[in-house]
Structure formats: structure tokens, C-alpha cells
Amino acid sequence: MANKRQKTCLVTGCSSGGVSAAIAEAFANHGYHVFATARTPSKIPQTLHTSPNVTVLTLDVTSTESIAAAVKSVQEKTGGMLDVLINNAGHSLNTPALDASIEETKKLFNANFFGVLETIQAFQHMLIRAKGCIVNNSSVGGYQPFPFITLYQASKAALTIAGEGWRLELAPLGVRVITLVTGGVATKFLNNIQPVQLPKDSYYTSIKDVIDDHPDHVPFGMKPEIFASDVLRRVEKGSTGKAWVGGAIPMIRMALWFFPQWALDRVSLMSKPPFTQRIADEHAKRMVADSTKAI
């Protein structure tokens, strides 16, 4: 009898402190051979480097050359089949939309959206041969905006709707697509948000402290290990479509379903210290100053 083929899984963005590393470990412990990837492999946890079920690879999802190199490595290791592709690499952008650098915004979408698409395209033949599964990590932020991270949320909203469309397109080819609508997970994500850089003439200079005000932990954050187990369970049982996973998800879904828009806006504004009046007051001062100069 021929030996049973070991299932394979590639996970992007496996730096320490994130959900990807926990997902990679969960799949490796379940018997998969996991390709744990990151732009900087030295940032991948040592437990993954030393696991017999893990191959560590360099993968920058914003680089066509890096993606091609990863495809070649996986092809050589697996013989041309990939059972699971988990797209989690990405980053955030903390800024008012009026002051956002278009270049930085494009980098954001390249990492969070176009990089996912290009990675899927690059591994398509391996996934189709294996009748595999694609898992895209999106966010509840794609459903309700929060001030000053709306560009990040827009990238996740794009991934959610695209993922649902890709699910329909790939189903006839035997490939499942799961879109994780992720709630709170206790990772280092908030610690990686960089302080906002505002131009001197920004309408928001008076509230820079508010924009940079972040909790030191994710409220209602689910442990990454529990999150990873949930993802593994959904892949193994054959799930497809949107999967709401993470801390406070029942409460979030109920609010999105039942709350009127004004109430949702109130919740969004409560995510920061009061700032709307400060913006209005600063704008009024500028209007007075400008009118005085014109006299």
C-alpha cells in the first residue's frame, strides 16, 4: 500500500506575537507539513524553526520575485500540491484620511489586498491539484468604521467581498475559500501601530494625542492558540465562506444586526477619547485667523 501523502499548509506573516505563528504551530501539531513564512524569517518563533513538520521560508507578499521563489520551494518540497494557503501577512495604517500619504496607502493595499491576490494566483495550480483550501484573514473592521484607521479597514473590507467572490469562482475547481471575519485576538498588533505623522496645516493637529491613543492590549482578545484551533477546525471540517472568529464576536454581530447607524457611530466614537468638539474648535479658530488676515 502506498504511503498516505502528508497534507501541506503555507502560512504568511509568521512573525512572533501574531496569529500566523499560532496557526502554523496548530497545523504542524495536527500532522501537516507547514511552510511558515515571513519577510524576515529570523522573526519567526524558534519553536517553528526546530519543528520537524515545519519548513521556514522567506516570503514578502508585496514582491513578485519573493512569491515566485516561495512557489519554487514549495513545488520542490511537495511535488506540486498545496492543501491549505493561509493569507495573514499585512499591516495597519494610523492616520486621518485627509492627511494620508497616497504612497503609504498603496503600500497598505499592496500588503493587505493585492499581495493576497498575487499569492493566490501564484499557488493556484498546486491548490487546484490538491483540491485545497484558501483562508484569508480579514476583520470585523471591514463592517464598521473606526476613526483614523479607516484605510486599513477599507483594505479588509475589500478582502472580505473579494474573498466571497473568489469562493464562487474557485468552487467549480474544487478549491474552498474561507474568509475569517476576525474580532479581538490578543496579539502584538496594537504595539506595531506607528505614531501618526501630521502635516503642520492638518485639521487634526490639535488631536494628535487622541489619534495616537491606543489600548495596550486588544479588548476582549481571544488567545492566539484558541483562534488557531478554531481555524484548524474549520479547515478540517470542510467549511467555506465567511467565518466570524475572535473575541466579542457574538456581541459585535448582534450590534451590527440590531443597532441603528447613529448607535454604531456612537460606539465607533467611543473607541477614542472625545475629539469632535476639539476639531471643530480648532477649525473655528483658523476661520477667525484667516478672516483677520484677509482684512
Q: Give tens-digit pLDDT for 93-107.
A: 999 999 999 999 999
Q: What is the spatial distance between Cα 216 and Cα 212, in angstroms, rounded to a whole number?
A: 12
Give the pLDDT band (50/70/90) at residue 1.
very low
- Buried b vs exposed e over 205-238: b needs ≥16 C-beta within 10 Å? ebbeebbeebeeebeebbebebbbbbbbebbeee
Sorted by where each begins, the domain ranges of the chain are: 8-294
Active site includes 152?
Answer: yes
Task: Pick the range with the lowest mean pLDDT from 42-56, 156-170, 222-236, 251-265.
Answer: 251-265
- Helix boundaries (H) for the chain: 19-29, 46-49, 64-78, 102-109, 115-130, 150-170, 208-211, 224-236, 249-258, 261-269, 276-294
Q: Are 219 and 248 in contact (CB under 8 A)?
A: yes
Active site includes 32?
Answer: no
CATH entry 3.40.50.720 includes domain 8-294: yes
- The average pLDDT across 81-93 equals 95
Q: Are 22 and 228 in contact (CB under 8 A)?
A: yes
Which amino acid is it at 174? G
Q: For residue 189, what pLDDT is reported?
A: 67
Query: Bigger pLDDT: 146 or 68?
Result: 68
Task: Pick the range with the lowest mean pLDDT from 39-43, 136-140, 282-286.
Answer: 282-286
**Residue 245 pLDDT > 60:** yes
Coil/strand/helix, residue 143: coil
Phi, psi of 10 (to 5 degrees): -110, 130
- Residue owning grid cell 507539513: 33
Kindly name the residue from 15, 66, 92, 152 that is annotated as catalytic.
152
Kindly name the residue from 20, 51, 92, 138 that is annotated as catalytic.
138
Q: For residue 73, what pLDDT is reported?
A: 98
Q: What is the pTM of this model?
A: 0.91
Report the chain's mean pLDDT, rounded to a whole number. 92
**Residue 169 pLDDT > 50:** yes
DSSP secondary structure letter of residue 136: E
Q: For residue 108, what pLDDT is reported?
A: 97
**Residue 91 pLDDT > 60:** yes
